Amino acid sequence: MRFLLDQNLPVRLCALLQQQGHEALHVEVLGLGTATDAEVWAEARRQDAVVVSKDSDFMVLAARKGRLVRLRVGNRANRDLFDIIDRNWPQVVERLDGGERIVELRA
């Protein structure tokens, strides 16, 4: 599965998702670090990627069409964020594979 990580997430998170067998892109690497949510969403659609973000604004876009993983984990140290994602990502992917378009991951 392909994921597009929003600017509010660390670029290094891509490596963790890649270790789990996924393709992971980050808006910074794609030159979209200052892009609007609509531009990020459009890029995700072009890339056939699931947006991953902490930003609740993507919920409106996801309600129309597309797929979103919204991280509701609060402000945490990167190692804590990585641990939460590492432990829970298989279930997130399972839910996406099962047809859910919006998956919220809570700490």
User: Does residue 57 or residue 97 have the better pLDDT?
Assistant: 97
Contact status, residue 62 vs residue 95, Cβ threshold 8 Å: no
pLDDT at 26 over 90: yes
Question: Measured in whole angstroms, how far is the alpha carbon of residue 24 from the centre of its chain?
Answer: 9
Segment 1-8 mean pLDDT = 95
Segment 29-52 mean pLDDT = 93
What average pLDDT is seen over the chain? 93
Segment 99-103 mean pLDDT = 94
Q: pLDDT tens across 45-84, in order?
A: 999 999 999 988 888 888 778 899 999 998 889 999 999 9
Segment 27-42 mean pLDDT = 93
The DSSP output letter for 75 is S
Contacts 24+ apart (CB under 8 A), 50-57: 50/1, 50/2, 50/3, 50/4, 50/96, 51/3, 51/4, 51/6, 52/3, 52/4, 52/5, 52/6, 52/9, 52/13, 53/5, 53/6, 53/8, 53/9, 54/6, 54/8, 54/9, 55/6, 55/8
Q: Which domains does the chain have, with CATH numbers?
A: 2-106 (3.40.50)
> Structure pTM?
0.93
pLDDT at 95 over 90: yes
**In this predicted structure, what is the pLDDT of residue 46?**
94
